[in-house]
Amino acid sequence: MGMAAPSQAGLMDAAELAGLVERIGADRDREAFRRLFDHFAPRVRGFLVRRGLPSAQADDLAQDTMLAIWRRAESYDVAKSAVSTWVYTIARNLHIDQYRKLARADRVDLTDPSLRPGEIPAADELYARGQDASAVSEALQTLPEDQRRVLELAFMEGLSHSDIAVRLVLPLGTVKSRIRLAMDKLKLSLGDLQ
Amino acid sequence: MSRRGYFLEQGWYLDHAAGASMSPGQDMLLRSHLEVSVPARAHAVSMARIGGAMLESVEDKGELAFDADDIFALDEAFDAARTPPEPAAAIPAAAVDRPECLPAVLCDFIDREGIKLRWEFLGPGLRKAMLWHGESDERLWLLRARPGVAIPRHGHRGTELTLVLQGSFLDGDQRYVRGDVEEADPGVEHDIQIGEGEECICLALTQGKLRFDDPLLRALQVFTGL
């Protein structure tokens, strides 16, 4: 691994996380799940709290997310996404489902397009995707503060781009152009980002 | 996302990726678009990766109210409570007049909401089926247009989004095919020419009534409801 793991990613790198999910999918490996749980359960809960959920609800949803991971691990495909992207998408869909009053662990939308990108990545891309979260985090750090702020408000606080314009007291067009600039820059730094 | 003008603005993909709340009509149009457009889907995946990276960066200082053993217990309870799946039901009668090009997410929505597709006259060679009507006069509907038909010049009081599901149409010299979305802002006036060869089917999300220049068409709107 040529790339240093970012400090906040902590104990495990992307390949290790992917290995754990694959072991759960193939063998219902409880030990692998415990390790994955230790990594993700606090993060998912913390993420939901940051999104404004009351503590008890964040616990419930984090629990549903972990249950979905345990039950659906065999549908995870390392070639298609990093584990962090997969877990994020499950948590997001459960969160959305909840405010649509449909929440149930067996109803996670596995047809979500984010879970099945269109192209099969080339072999040398697998390495890049395996590095996913850390590479993306590093690229995010290189963004100008005003662009990164827009992405943080969207993902961390769940604000729509028009809410972000209101929050930052900016014209909607300015927010749109910051999103566009940020995505263009991320694609340049990450190469395989389409 | 190389063909400019065939995709939605970035804010849409970000709102979807970040799970911001949107109306059922907006959500359906966006998810249908993602299902049928490979480049748009790749873009959505890029955005989800940002979410994954942000999730990794979260530090939680709170105490978890459950542990891994609770998950195993829930899992067993879940299996125990589960009733065997019902045998696949026959295709409901409502599905008969459902075009094959409809994305799966849209079919699910139609089934879940119990919507019956009623194809109504919209104009010569044009039929519409209303799917959803929300606040601030937002409407999600399907359009079927005979090959070669022209949709007369019209404007909009709000945004109009049109996703091509089958066939094609021309707006000026831009040609839209399956997966493409045309985003027309309020005030934009355009006329549309349906492509030759194949019936064109689109999913449209409009806000407010369409404004036709032709007084006869305006009179006709009383009957067509758009």
Residues of chain A with C-beta less than 8 angstroms from the C-beta of B59? 8, 43, 46
Which of these, B174, B201, B216, lies nearest to B102 by C-alpha position? B201
pLDDT at B96: 60
Put simply, whether B101 touches A (Cβ < 8 Å) is no
User: What DSSP letter does each residue of chain B carry, written as one string?
Assistant: --STTSS--HHHHHHHHHT----HHHHHHHHHHHHH-HHHHHHHHHHHHHHHHHHHH----SPPS--HHHHHHHHHHHHHHPPPPPPPPPPPGGGTT--TTS-HHHHHHHHHTT-----EEEETTEEEEEEEE-GGGEEEEEEEE-TT-EEEEEEESS-EEEEEEES-EEETTEEE-TT-EEEE-TT--EEEEEPSSS-EEEEEEEES-EEESSHHHHHHHHHH--
CB–CB of B51 and A85 under 8 A? yes
Q: Where are the domains of chain B?
A: 10-57, 101-224
pLDDT at B3: 60
Put simply, whether B84 touches A (Cβ < 8 Å) is no
pLDDT 10s digits, B25-45: 999 999 999 999 998 988 888
CB–CB of B62 and A151 under 8 A? no
Question: For residue A148, what is the nearest residue in chain B, using CA coordinates?
Answer: B50
Put simply, whether B64 touches A (Cβ < 8 Å) is yes
Structural domains in chain A, CATH included, are 8-119 (1.10.1740.10), 142-190 (1.10.10.10)
How many angstroms separate the CA atoms of A131 and A63, rounded? 26
How many angstroms separate the CA atoms of B37 and B1, rounded? 10
What is this model's ipTM?
0.81
How many angstroms separate the CA atoms of A17 and A84, rounded? 8
Question: For residue B2, what is the nearest residue in chain A, using CA coordinates?
Answer: A194
Question: Which two tokens mark A138?
Answer: 């590093």
Q: How far off is chain B from A75, nearest CA to CA, in Å?
A: 17
Torsion of CA A15, A16, A19, A20, to 10 degrees: -140
More confident residue, A103 or B97: B97
How many angstroms separate the CA atoms of A41 and B171, rounded? 50
Residue with tokens 């009623």: B118
pLDDT 10s digits, A19-51: 999 999 999 999 999 999 999 999 999 999 999
How many A/B residue pairs have CB atoms within 8 Å? 207
How many angstroms separate the CA atoms of B144 and B151, rounded? 12
- ∠ CA A105-A111-A112 to the nearest 5 degrees? 90
DSSP three-state, residue A35: helix
CB–CB of B51 and A66 under 8 A? no
pLDDT band of residue A79 (cuts 50, 70, 90) is confident
Residues of chain B with C-beta less than 8 angstroms from the C-beta of A163? 20
What is the overall mean pLDDT for chain B? 85
8 A C-beta contact, residue A184 and residue A176: no
pLDDT band of residue A88 (cuts 50, 70, 90) is very high
**Looking at residues B153-164, what average pLDDT do you find?**
82
CATH number of B101-224: 2.60.120.10
Residue with tokens 């601030």: B136
Interface of B with A in 169-188 (CB under 8 A): none
pLDDT at B88: 59
Residue B225 pLDDT > 70: no
CA quadruple B58, A7, B14, A40: dihedral sign: negative
Residues of chain A with C-beta less than 8 angstroms from the C-beta of B44? 113-114
pLDDT at B90: 57
Interface of B with A in 40-59 (CB under 8 A): 41-59
